[in-house]
Amino acid sequence: GIAIGALLAPRLIPLAHVRRARWAAYGLGVSIVCLVFVDELWMARGLLLIAGICGGIFVVPINAILQEIGHDSVGSGHAVAVQQCFENVAMLVVTLLYTWSISSGISATTVMAVLGFTVLLLTLLISYKLPQSSP
């Protein structure tokens, strides 16, 4: 799914319209929340495919704009390195939180629902804070 989204991203979200990437983040959050209500394998696979496509559509324009902005300030290589470091730390923290949650007896469906709603809430907050005049 991520590869499909990455291939679609340049056509759907050119750099001049990078604000559109937030819709893919909303789609990612909704698909994660929907996983909680699914008990059929084929539906879970479909939702995971949709989540992957949304993730690819989201991350490609964000990475491209980060490289463009970074090129003008600290250099695109440094900007990407900082971003990847942050992503790795975030994945480690989320993995630790997930492991702690499961070992504390919290169900996997509850953890997935919290993750999905967190993605939706953060996307909503970031969308609200975006300046209206920039792409």
Could you please report the per-residue DSSP string of 18-69?
GGGHHHHHHHHHHHHHHHTT--SHHHHHHHHHHHHHHHHHHHHHHHHHHHHH
Does some domain include residue 134?
no
Among 133, 131, 126, which residue's Cα sits nearest to residue 25?
A: 126
Question: In total, how many domains does the chain have?
Answer: 1
pLDDT at 65: 82
With a cut of 60, say whether residue 21 has pLDDT above it. Answer: yes
Tens digits of residue pLDDT in 67-109: 877 777 777 678 788 888 998 999 999 999 999 999 999 999 9
Does some domain include residue 135?
no
Q: CB neighbours of 26 closer than 8 A, spacing ≥ 6?
A: 120, 123
pTM of the model: 0.79
Q: 40: how many CB neighbours lie within 10 A of its CB?
A: 8
- For the chain, the distance separating the N- and C-terminal CA atoms, rounded to the nearest angstrom, is 26
Work out the average pLDDT over 107-121. Answer: 92
With a cut of 60, say whether residue 14 has pLDDT above it. Answer: yes
Tens digits of residue pLDDT in 28-45: 999 999 999 999 999 999
Does some domain include residue 105?
yes
Q: Cα angle at 93 between 88 and 21, to 5 degrees?
A: 60
Range of the domain at 22: 2-129
pLDDT band, very low/low/confident/very high, at 133 (cuts 50, 70, 90) = low
With a cut of 80, say whether residue 135 has pLDDT above it. Answer: no
